[in-house]
Amino acid sequence: MRPAISADGTAIAYEVSGDGPPLVIVDGAMCYRDSGPSRPLAAELAGDFTVYTYDRRGRGETAVAECTPEREIEDLEAIIKEAGGAAYLFGASSGAMLALEAASAGVGTTKLAMYEPPLIVDGTHAPAPESALPEMRALISENRRGDAVKAFMKSVDVPGLGIMMMRLAPVWKKLTGVAHTLPDDLALLAGLRQGRPLPADRWTTATMPTLVADGGKSPEYLRNGAAALAAVLPNARHETVPGQTHLVKPKALAPVLRAFFLG
């Protein structure tokens, strides 16, 4: 399939599966079609939707290019144009915030669903330091990819032993291969992980029906962030997927998305 062409000329690799109304899936940090949850989730949803999955900038088959939240919104708009100009939109983790920013910017979104945007809105988790983004950019500029992945993993509470085991596993090569995209995800979350209440007037244009979901076994701060985001959006509701963590299983998430989008 030919790539979608973004506003700045960047070719965005994507694929389509299934049949039904169009649904676009937006991956979170370091995930792409060959390494992450989007393909398994697409397989669960393909019986009811025409599902579009794509590689965000610098990942998979999409080339490295200038990356800012604005460029990523343009990329997502290019995918939605391929889908006919309007689509259901689902984003996971930091991809949820990209989906929300795109919907707020007027990209054709008929309904929006998000799973656990990694917000810190209260004292249930230590606030992310304001220096996190410039420090990550410095690590990447120095080509310290392993240190960048380690810093990110620590920031999302992966235990030291878990990071050590990852470094010995084949997945580490995939993670360091896309480490240069970590500043992009942190930029999407700027100002939203410092333990402060969310701004009530930031996403007022995202008036489409919206679902903000979390997992019943996820940390309290993630669940509080999901509930807080649903509370400030114009037309949103909050739902918990029982028994799930941040690494939600596609078989558990798919029925929730199906019910929301088709209900």
Q: Are residues 212 and 176 in the same domain?
A: no
Q: Are residues 37 and 19 in the same domain?
A: yes
Q: Are residues 206 and 178 in the same domain?
A: no
Buried/exposed code over 55-64 (b: 16+ C-beta within 10 A; e: otherwise): bbbbbbebee
Task: Give the whole-angstrom CA distance, residue 205 versus residue 220.
Answer: 28
Q: Are residues 46 and 60 in the same domain?
A: yes
Q: Are residues 148 and 84 in the same domain?
A: no
Which residue range forms the structural domain that includes residue 173?
132-188
Give the 3-state secondary structure of residue 161.
helix
Query: If you count DSSP H runs as helices and E runs as strands, how many of each does the chain have, helices first?
Result: 10, 9
Give Cβ neighbours of residue 81 (< 8 Å, ≥ 6 apart). Answer: 4
Task: List 89's β-bridge partners, or say none.
Answer: 24, 112
Q: Are residues 72 and 175 in the same domain?
A: no
Give the model's pLDDT for residue 66: 86
Q: Are residues 20 and 48 in the same domain?
A: yes
> What is the CATH number for 115?
3.40.50.1820
Q: Are residues 143 and 93 in the same domain?
A: no
Residue at 34: amino acid letter = D
- Bridge-based pairing of strands 210-215 and 22-26 is unpaired
Picking from 188, 207, 232, the residue at the C-terminal end of a domain is 188
Task: Give the whole-angstrom CA distance, residue 29 versus residue 32.
Answer: 9
**What's the Cα-to-Cα distance from 211 to each of 90, 216, 226, 234, 240, rounded to whole Å?**
9, 16, 10, 11, 10
Task: Give the whole-angstrom CA distance, residue 183 versus residue 165.
Answer: 24
Give the model's pLDDT for residue 29: 97
Q: Are residues 36 and 92 in the same domain?
A: yes
Task: Give the whole-angstrom CA distance, residue 121 versus residue 175.
Answer: 28
Evaluate the CA torsion angle 10, 13, 14, 15 in order and state its sign.
positive
102 within 8 A of 132, measured Cβ to Cβ: no
Tally of residues, the chain? 263
144 within 8 A of 123, measured Cβ to Cβ: no
Residue at 30: amino acid letter = M
| Residues of the chain predicted below pLDDT 50 | none
Number of domain units in the chain: 2
Q: Are residues 141 and 114 in the same domain?
A: no
Task: List 25's β-bridge partners, or say none.
Answer: 53, 90
Quick one: DSSP state of residue 180?
Answer: G
Q: Taking each helix axis from N to C terminus, what angle separates 69-82 and 94-104, rounded to the nearest 10 degrees?
A: 80
Task: Give the whole-angstrom CA distance, residue 24 versus residue 251.
Answer: 18
Convert the pLDDT of each residue in 135-171 to its tens digit: 999 999 999 999 999 999 999 999 999 999 999 999 9
Q: Are residues 180 and 228 in the same domain?
A: no
Of 123, 105, 132, which Cα lies nearest the Cα of 29?
132
Picking from 188, 208, 230, the residue at the C-terminal end of a domain is 188
Q: Are residues 198 and 161 in the same domain?
A: no
Q: What is the pTM of this model?
A: 0.96
